[in-house]
Amino acid sequence: MRHLLSIEDIEREDIERILGSAAFFGDVADRPIKKVPSFRGRLVINLFYEASTRTRSSFELAGKRLSADVLNVVSSGSSVEKGESLRDTVATLSAYGPDAIVIRSPHAGAPQLVARWSPAGVVNAGDGKHQHPTQALLDLYVLRQRIGELAGRSIWIVGDVLHSRVARSSAQAFMKLGAEVTFAGPPTLVPPELAALGCEVRHTLDGLGDADVVYALRLQHERMREAFLPSLAEYAACYQINSRRLKARQLLMHPGPVNRGVELSGDVIDGPQSLITEQVRAGIVVRMAVLVEVLSGSHADTPQVERLTPEPQLA
Ligand code: CP
């Protein structure tokens, strides 16, 4: 795989291969030495134009566990603040000879531009409201580990779908593996045209009890340019996932960060049905698997994952 820009671009067989590699790295992560030596000397640049805790830290750990050199560049404190353009920033960083550039941007389509401007493999770590493909892959990984095959499973994605790249990319990923996806939330945040993605659209939580998985989304205040909601209290009254609405057999997911007490009540965040911490943990091994794909795609001589060997373990 040359780049990972969108879930739309990849086939089921690509997904299965990545999930298989992630499982291999999951086994390595349980060992005292969690690194494989195969990407020594390779350079991964993490270029982040938007805030991130999970994605940035897990890409950094993923690159380091593959033994690559990892360079983190965030727009705050860089020459972006002096007005340097994305194109010039990419040209500058490309002079260091990166094998992969991981980019997060507030602008949809930025990763595609970077892929045109740099010889490096490019991974989309979230672009505007468009896509977050590695989040989708880690969501698949976590669900596969917990419930096995997704075919025929019902997954409700609840909340601010309009502003959510996670909703788009994870819904597409769930459906590629055969799940049925429902988007639910207020009409201002779940417009009917989202049904074009192949999902059902609902504006109440009636029927939520039939879902196998409830995937809550953050209200993205930073992307809201107008008043989408009468008040947070009214939103919570109608759409908050709490212990009254979540059935005992249902699993709960959220990409983080959470507005605690708004889209989720504190008890379900910290409760036994919550997969939120598993999602965070899976970020490392799934991003290792994605980096292997991209680093292998840019160099024909790179070892494939089945030939990767863990570092020797201490007795
Ligand atoms: N889920 C996610 O993308 O979280 P961060 O913004 O913290 O990376």
Q: Which residues contact 207 (CB under 8 A, 6 or more apart)?
A: 182
Closest atom of ligand 1 to CA, residue 56: 8
Q: Is the pLDDT of residue 170 over 90?
A: yes
What's the CA-to-centroid distance between 292 and ligand 1, angstroms? 21
Q: What per-residue confidence (pLDDT) applies to 299? A: 52
**Residue 98, CA distances (Å) to 39, 43, 74, 86, 184 in order:** 12, 5, 16, 16, 41
The verdict on the CB of residue 191 being under 6 Å from ligand 1 is no
Q: What per-residue confidence (pLDDT) applies to 300? A: 47
Q: Which residues contact 16 (CB under 8 A, 6 or more apart)?
A: none
Q: What per-residue confidence (pLDDT) applies to 315? A: 42
Q: What per-residue confidence (pLDDT) applies to 223? A: 72
The verdict on the CB of residue 53 being under 6 Å from ligand 1 is yes
CA-to-CA distance for 147 and 135, rounded, in angstroms? 18
The verdict on the CB of residue 54 being under 6 Å from ligand 1 is yes
Q: Is the pLDDT of residue 302 over 60?
A: no
Over range 10-15, report the average pLDDT. Answer: 96
Instruction: Return the amino acid letter for 137.
Output: L
The verdict on the CB of residue 106 being under 6 Å from ligand 1 is no
What's the CA-to-centroid distance between 312 and ligand 1, angstroms? 33
Q: Could you tell me which residues are beta bridge partners of residue 104?
A: 48
Q: What per-residue confidence (pLDDT) applies to 311? A: 60
- 120-148 per-position pLDDT tens digit: 999 999 999 999 999 999 999 999 999 99
Distinct helix (H) and strand (E) counts, the chain: 9, 9
Q: Which of 159, 134, 265, 169 is nearest to 217 (CA)?
A: 159
Q: Chain-centre distance of CA 132, in angstroms? A: 5
Q: Which domains does the chain have, with CATH numbers?
A: 7-131+281-307 (3.40.50.1370), 133-278 (3.40.50.1370)
- Top-confidence residue, 313 or 222: 222
Contact 310, 29 (CB under 8 A): no
Over range 251-276, report the average pLDDT. Answer: 96
Q: Is the pLDDT of residue 167 over 60?
A: yes
Q: Is the pLDDT of residue 305 over 90?
A: no
- 189-230 per-position pLDDT tens digit: 999 999 999 999 999 999 999 999 999 999 987 777 677 777
**Residue 247, CA distances (Å) to 45, 105, 210, 211, 262 in order:** 43, 37, 9, 9, 19
What's the CA-to-centroid distance between 12 and ligand 1, angstroms? 24
> Best of 50, 55, 278 to mutate for ligand 1, by most ligand atoms within 8 A of CB?
55
Closest atom of ligand 1 to CA, residue 53: 7
Q: Could you tell me which residues are beta bridge partners of residue 48?
A: 74, 104
Q: Which two tokens stand for residue 188?
A: 């201002």
72: burial class by Cβ within 10 Å (0-12, 13-18, 19+)? middle
Q: What per-residue confidence (pLDDT) applies to 309? A: 57
CA-to-CA distance for 122 and 115, rounded, in angstroms? 6
CA-to-CA distance for 60 and 48, rounded, in angstroms? 12
Give the DSSP H or E segment for 296. Answer: helix 276-298
What whole-number percentage of the chain has pLDDT above 70? 94
Q: Could you tell me which residues are beta bridge partners of residue 45?
A: 71, 101
Q: Is the pLDDT of residue 87 over 80?
A: yes
CA-to-CA distance for 92 and 230, rounded, in angstroms? 46
Nearest CA to ligand 1 atom 3: 55
Nearest CA to ligand 1 atom 4: 54
In this structure, the strands spanning 121-127 and 154-158 are unpaired
Q: Which two tokens stand for residue 265?
A: 């009540």
Q: Is the pLDDT of residue 301 over 60?
A: no
CA-to-CA distance for 107 and 225, rounded, in angstroms? 15
Q: Which residues contact 51 (CB under 8 A, 6 or more apart)?
A: none
- Top-confidence residue, 179 or 299: 179
What's the CA-to-centroid distance between 51 and ligand 1, angstroms? 8
Q: Is the pLDDT of residue 29 over 80?
A: yes
